[in-house]
Amino acid sequence: MITLPAVVRGSQGSGFAVRARRVTGAPIEIRTADAHEADAVHDLIDEHIAEGHLLAREFEEIRVHAHRFIVAVQDDDVLACAELAPLSRSVAEVRSFVVSREARSRGVGRGLVNELIRRATAAGFDKLCAFTHSPGYFVHLGFSIVPHAWLPEKIVTDCHVCSQFRHCGQYAVVRTLERVHHRCVPLAALHG
């Protein structure tokens, strides 16, 4: 078992406290977040804002949209999270994608992205996008780097009100999703 410190919101004021986040040999489960895990998701995002790769998220926003988040959980510890955020009827975004330092290089991030691809496809989206400082990671998972202007849904929804607009340093990446084709039974087979 590895025990490493992680920064989480403390119980007093707006300060931070240190708690141990463990990564053990137990299985890591990827599933939809529960509303009661909004605090752990918020803490994980806050912990990684200092790296400069995430935008801050309000706790209440995470709590209200907990059903859009997936989490990687091991022994009741939230080790990673990501949100499947709809931008339009055809485009969804990977948002607030964080893997704790303790869980990196274990395939957790790949598992989260693959699950978001599966969910976005099942929901009928045509494209899944992300805005990232590490485009190579997403390219390795089948995404392509595109100009930001190719994702006007993101610009209209979020970018135009962001303090980092036009100088964020992020790359836009997109993956076209395959439509699920239902097998059709030939009419001749129905008539015998």
Query: For residue 121, is pLDDT > 70?
Result: yes
DSSP string, the chain: -EEEEEEEE-SSTT-EEEEEEEE-SSPPEEEEPPGGGHHHHHHHHHHHHTTTS-----HHHHHHTGGGEEEEEETTEEEEEEEEEESSSSEEEEEEEEE-GGGTTTTHHHHHHHHHHHHHHHTT-SEEEEEES-HHHHHHTT-EEE-GGG-HHHHHHTGGG-TTTT---PEEEEEEPPP-PPPPPPHHHHT-
* Domain architecture of the chain: domains with CATH: 2-190 (3.40.630.30)
Q: What is the pLDDT of residue 56?
A: 78
Please, how many CA atoms are within 13 Å of residue 105, restricted to the half-sphere of its CB? 2
Q: What is the pTM of this model?
A: 0.76
Euclidean distance between CA atoms 87 and 184, whole angstroms: 31
Mean pLDDT, to the nearest integer, of 95-121? 91
Mean pLDDT, to the nearest integer, of 17-46? 79
Mean pLDDT, to the nearest integer, of 143-154? 80
Question: What confidence tier does 22 reach under pLDDT thresholds 50, 70, 90?
Answer: low
